[in-house]
Amino acid sequence: MHKLNNNIGRLLLFLLLICACFSGCKKSRDVKAEIKAQLEIDKGIITDYLAKNNIDAKVVDSAGVSTGVYYIVDNPGTGNDVLTSSTKITVGFTGTLLTTGADFISTDDLHPSFILGQTIRGWQLGIAASGVNTGGSLRLFVPSHYAYGPYAQPSLGLPANAVLIFNIKFYNITN
């Protein structure tokens, strides 16, 4: 009888381990497909906004592929500044959540400096494509993938997958 209980205990332990193994298995996520799908949603949000507000903006292409980042050069500025990832930009800007129109950040009278390659990817793509110079101003429409992606930014009041607008004035551009 003792041997039978021992065998049943081993069988139950074996079944428990099998169940634990299968319960730990998850379907793998196709992250690339999720990013692509969200980017298409964001592009639709931006193009609908532009059309609804009769705004003519240019899209940034990367190797012939639309990024979904749109820009408008409100003032080209003066000079012939070269923009690279190591360019230092001194700017004033306001960030707005496109879906609500609520400002989430504004530099007001402050003019912070950034290395372009250390900013969000939407800034890197849009600023470089715009050709804006010192004294110029620019509006960027940035899909979530090129900003903060699927990560909410509670300190800024931004939800996950936030589509953003930036109004940027360039006070100085140096290499």
User: Could you write out the DSSP letters of every residue in the chain?
Assistant: -HHHHHHHHHHHHHHHHHHHHHHH--PPP-HHHHHHHHHHHHHHHHHHHHHHTT---EEEEETTEEEEEEEEEEE--BS-----TT-EEEEEEEEEETTT--EEEE-TT---EEEGGGS-HHHHHHHHHHT--BT-EEEEEE-GGGTTTT--BTTTTBPTT--EEEEEEEEEEE-
**Is residue 19 scored above 80 in pLDDT?**
no
Mean pLDDT of 11-32: 60
Confidence band of 159 (pLDDT split at 50, 70, 90)? very high
For the stretch 41-99, pLDDT in tens is: 999 999 999 999 999 999 999 888 889 999 999 999 998 888 999 999 999 999 999 99
For the stretch 128-157, pLDDT in tens is: 999 999 999 999 999 999 999 999 999 999
The pTM for the full model equals 0.82
Higher confidence at residue 62 or residue 166?
166
